[in-house]
Chain A
Amino acid sequence: MPTHKRIDVSKVGDVTVVKFVDRKILDEAGIQELGAELFSLVEHDNRRSILVSFDNVDFLSSAALGKLITLDRKVKSVQGRLKMCNIRPEILEVFQITKLNKVFDIRGEEAEAISAF
């Protein structure tokens, strides 16, 4: 099991649940590390059902959105499934303004999201 600095990874059944370590995702170096750790779940650990939970996250910048989009592409390219949950209203608004809510499979709470896999 690789160690991660920016994410906590657990499993619920077949679903890999990812939580962010940082409450504010805005530091460029941190976002690069975050991206690498997220991508490695797909590319090295062969995770195919991934739930990204935002329950620790108060803020994220547009640079972080780019990593989530790339993660979504990587998961889809291996016929995997990516869902997101526990997103606070202000961050949900970011997804709505940028229409990323059409790209991402966004759910409410974690249990609901897991049952949707």
Chain B
Amino acid sequence: MSDQTSPGVWQLSIDLPSERGSNRQVTDELLTQLGAYGWPPADVFAVHLAVEEAIVNAIVHGNKLDVSKKVHVECEVSADRVRVAITDEGPGFDPASVPDCTADERLEAPSGRGVMLMRSFMTRIEYNAAGNAVVLEKVRGPAES
């Protein structure tokens, strides 16, 4: 893990093993940094949810829990922007192929909500062409009065 702080920006780059829960430490550190940079609790919740869903997808669906494969995570946090890039070693997927979990016939399906939650809670999410890397970005909104 490399953890460096340039003025006003906290950065971290780490390779995670493809095991459930292997992201716990990096997620906790990310949340701690968001708090340290003064992000409001609702935004911290949003980033937590999106990052958790994305990393679990990478470990379980991307690398299929293959311990010989890693999930690469890069984080950048500043006072007004957070960016997390997550890359797995799987074949990728087409995010447009994920069915709409809010369609009536899918409403009670037990899974398939992670990508929609990521899109809703982050300012921007972008997959690469192969579909095995995603960038999550949130820009801090104006303070609530």
Residues of chain A having any CB pair with chain B under 8 Å: 26-29, 58-59, 61-63, 65-67, 69-70, 72-73, 89-90, 94, 97-100, 102-103
Across-interface contacts of A90 in B (CB, < 8 A): 41-42, 45-46
Task: Answer yes or no: B102 CB below 8 A from chain A CBs.
Answer: yes
Across-interface contacts of A61 in B (CB, < 8 A): 49, 52-53, 56
Residues of chain B having any CB pair with chain A under 8 Å: 20-21, 41-42, 45-46, 48-49, 52-53, 56, 101-102, 107-111, 113-114, 116-117, 120-121
Across-interface contacts of A94 in B (CB, < 8 A): 49, 117
Cα(A98)–Cα(B41), bound, Å: 21
Q: Which of A59, A66, A72, A100 is within 8 Å of B48, CB to CB?
A: A59
In the complex, which residue of chain A has the Cβ closest to the Cβ of B111? A66
Q: Which of B21, B42, B120 is within 8 Å of A28, CB to CB?
A: B21
Say what secondary structure dominates the interface of chain B: helix
Contact B116 A97, beta carbon cutoff 8 Å: yes
Contact A98 B116, beta carbon cutoff 8 Å: yes
**With A67-B110, A97-B120 already in contact, 4 other A-B pairs whose C-beta atoms are closer than 8 Å:** A65-B113, A70-B110, A90-B46, A98-B117
Contact B102 A98, beta carbon cutoff 8 Å: yes
In the complex, which residue of chain B has the Cβ closest to the Cβ of A68? B110
Across-interface contacts of B46 in A (CB, < 8 A): 90
In the complex, which residue of chain A has the Cβ closest to the Cβ of B103? A99
The list of the 3 closest CB pairs from A to B, nearest first, reads: A66-B110, A90-B45, A62-B113
20 CB contacts below 8 A, A to B, read: A28-B56, A29-B20, A59-B45, A59-B48, A59-B49, A62-B53, A67-B110, A69-B108, A69-B110, A73-B108, A89-B42, A90-B41, A90-B45, A90-B46, A97-B116, A97-B120, A97-B121, A98-B116, A102-B107, A103-B107
